[in-house]
Homo-oligomer: A and B are copies of this chain.
Amino acid sequence: MKKVEAIKVSPISISSKLFYLGRFSQSTMATINDNYLKLKAGYLFPEIARRVNAFAEANPDAKIIRLGIGDVTEPLPEACRTAMIKAVEEMGDRATFKGYGPEQGYAWLREKIAKYDFQARGCEIDASEIFVSDGSKCDTGNILEIFGHDNTIAVTDPVYPVYVDTNVMVGNTGEANDKGEFEGLVYLPITAENNFTATIPSQKVDLIYLCFPNNPTGATATKEHLKAWVDYARANNSIIFFDAAYEAFITDPSIPHSIYEIEGARECAIEFRSFSKNAGFTGTRCALTVVPKNLTAKAADGSDVELWKLWNRRQSTKFNGVSYIVQRGAEAVYSEAGQAQTKALVSFYLENAKIIREQLTAAGLAVYGGVNAPYVWVKTPNSLSSWDFFDKLLHTCNVVGTPGSGFGAAGEGYFRISAFNSRENVEEAMKRITEKFKV
């Protein structure tokens, strides 16, 4: 049969009425996703760069120390490097060459993650429930693809901006108000008054983002706090997105590393993990998402659908797995040498955090976080705004941090200082603050 003309299959039995409305008002030219126009122009870090550059130009001799961005600075563990070099060499031999790997990650990596990160802590997580990826930023954004657009979504305030922006981009919100809050999102303030743990909402929300140890506040959650969330989620058929990217910084044995340490979490939570901060993989790229197999959400017809199947389909269709070389590097984190080396790396940054906490306290500032977390959250003195504090610190001490208001309206009056830097830079920055900064 010869078909000489393009065939338009007519939309007869489309399930969603919303879809129909879109179909019937077809455009006469290619159209964009208008939701992108609601986004604020990522003003935080560009504005920081603008102010730092202006200062640097006016003060060319100033030695500026940047404690702003949460990026690691210390070398990759030797165990990881050795494993990656071996993997590169394997790629040079036809017998050991690796082409496409499983989209979900290699079994040998998923099994080690399940065993060391979860089963060793009493979490019933199977290797098949681990999805290896190239980043938690990708995963926390992409996870929204498998959910409907009629969910009510809660985020903390302040919050990692990616959670909010990715919801805006897929159309889960309206416009932003002048405080930067998007219509349709439920904001859960976390401040010193509630010990930086959000109050469980009185209304019903369907999807909830939690991040512990928290970025940006450095707060941690007790088992009791997480249990309250799990109980809420189970009672309301909600799903918790639990971002545990900083779990390696927990040293207090009473603090849970995984939400699956809480009974019932398998029925309501997806967890995100990363090798970025424990093993210094920010430039190497490896992370993972856990989707328990019995976790479900509702289809339009009221039936329960396994989220594991949807995420597996999403990853199989839109992702080709993480580089074999990088996966071998991640696997080495679980070797005896890798465990010792990543522990040393984490201890190094935690010692930085301790120095920052102690010195800022000595300088008369109120500080939070930085104990089981790499971020120190500073209350600005004398009711200074976050940006005024930023300017004062930059001008008097030539030290750069991140204004808390950049993470949300309730971050106003706070300031984030990152422990990810060399000891020398941290000590010099703190010396300047204790000597020159007048509260």
Mark A residues whose CB is within 8 Å of B: 2-19, 21-23, 25-34, 36-39, 42, 69, 71-76, 78, 81, 84-85, 88-89, 91-94, 97-101, 134-135, 137-138, 141-142, 145-152, 154, 162, 165-166, 169-171, 174-175, 177, 181-189, 191, 193-194, 198-199, 201-207, 236-239, 280, 282-285, 297-300, 305, 307, 310, 313-314, 316-326, 410, 422
Q: Which chain B residues lie closer than 8 Å to A189 at the CB level?
A: 3, 7
Write the nearest CB–CB distance from A305 to chain B, whole angstroms: 5
- Determine if B201 and A9 form an interchain contact, defined as CB atoms under 8 angstroms apart: no
- Determine if B6 and A146 form an interchain contact, defined as CB atoms under 8 angstroms apart: no
- Determine if A18 and B15 form an interchain contact, defined as CB atoms under 8 angstroms apart: no
Q: Which chain B residues lie closer than 8 Å to A135 at the CB level?
A: 319-320
- Determine if B27 and A148 form an interchain contact, defined as CB atoms under 8 angstroms apart: yes
CA distance A350 to B204 in the complex (A): 60
Question: Which of A91, A187, A299, A326 has the largest count of B CB atoms less than 10 A from its CB?
Answer: A91
Set B33, B165, B203, B313: member contacting A148, Cβ < 8 A:
B33
Set B73, B282, B284, B310: member contacting A94, Cβ < 8 A:
B73
Q: Which chain B residues lie closer than 8 Å to A284 at the CB level?
A: 91, 323-325
Write the nearest CB–CB distance from A43 to chain B, whole angstroms: 13
- Determine if B183 and A11 form an interchain contact, defined as CB atoms under 8 angstroms apart: yes
Q: What secondary structure prevails in chain A residues at the interface with B?
A: loop
- Determine if B318 and A138 form an interchain contact, defined as CB atoms under 8 angstroms apart: yes
- Determine if B177 and A9 form an interchain contact, defined as CB atoms under 8 angstroms apart: yes
CA distance A146 to B170 in the complex (A): 9
- Determine if A283 and B318 form an interchain contact, defined as CB atoms under 8 angstroms apart: no
- Determine if A318 and B137 form an interchain contact, defined as CB atoms under 8 angstroms apart: yes
- Determine if B202 and A6 form an interchain contact, defined as CB atoms under 8 angstroms apart: yes
- 7 additional contacts (CB under 8 A) given A85-B88, A285-B322: A2-B191, A6-B203, A29-B237, A30-B151, A36-B314, A71-B100, A134-B323
CA distance A183 to B8 in the complex (A): 8
Q: Which residue of B lies closest to A76 (CB)?
A: B91
Q: A23-B184, A26-B152 are in contact. Are A171 and B319 (CB under 8 A)?
A: no
